[in-house]
Amino acid sequence: MRTVFATFNFKSTDTATAEKHYTENHVRLTLQLPNLRQYITGLVRPLPHPPSPHRAAFNYFDDEAALRWALHKSPAAKPLLEDGAAHLRVNRWLELDSEIIVPFEPRRPGLECFVLASEFELKLKGAGAEAAEQRYLDYHVDVARRLPNLRHYMISKYQVSTKIGAVTASGEVRMRNPLRMAMLVFDSSEALHDAYHSPVGQELSKDEEATIVNTRLYRIDATVQL
């Protein structure tokens, strides 16, 4: 699966009017994209440092080819991109290779939920990136998927090319530590709070301290669009 995660502010200082245009026009245009499998938008809860973006959106596609066609070649692409250029100031755009661990059930347009999205790298602790990756997938992801109240869980990372790896004396290509992202969806922020204070949540928090580094968190009051 290929996922786009975008954060942005409005170019207009009239936030109320910009919000109305975004929900009535930009969201409508996005929903016209072919191959769009899931679409979630939301307001990012502000943090004092660093300055937080105003909004965030997740767009799910089956693969990179489906995303490329939808955003660059389909008839729906041009009006959407023109609207974005006119009204939005994008400050984060990530195209991620993703895997759905817990499908979003129940999901319906208009459903309100709370999203915790986290960007991070894995702590290598002397091990190679592949070993850290395997440990993350085998243990950390298994713990996270058992969080109570969890409605949806997706993990993602950048596609890494061997061209950017460092070649050792033996000729082995050593991959750099890729940026990862995890998206956890709950009914509300209170449900997230309760989940992380459960025994499973405490186990997960402990492992996060041991496993991940360079974390950037987004707390999003979200709405399912598709």
Cα 185 from chain centroid? 11
Mean pLDDT by 10 residues, the chain (226 residues): 96 96 97 98 86 92 96 96 97 94 95 97 81 92 97 86 45 60 97 98 96 93 98
pLDDT tens per residue, range 153-192 = 999 987 554 444 444 444 444 445 678 999 999 999 999 9
Structure tokens at 47: 């943090």
Please answer whether residues 34 and 226 qualify as being in contact, where contact means their C-beta atoms are separated by less than 8 angstroms. Answer: no
Cα dihedral sign for 77, 6, 43, 34?
Answer: positive
Which DSSP state fits 46? P
pLDDT on residue 177: 61
Q: Residue 150: which of 110, 199, 109, 201 has the closest Cα? A: 201
Q: Per-residue DSSP letters for 73-92?
A: ISTTHHHHHHHHHHHEEEEE
Residue 34's pLDDT is what? 97
Side chain identity, residue 47? L
Q: What is the pLDDT of residue 138?
A: 95
CA distance 188 to 201: 16
pLDDT for residue 52:
79
Residues 6+ apart with CB under 8 A from 132: 122, 123, 124, 125, 177, 211
Tokens 């000729």 correspond to what residue? 171
Q: What is the pLDDT of residue 160?
A: 52
CA–CA–CA angle 218, 138, 179 (5° rounding): 40
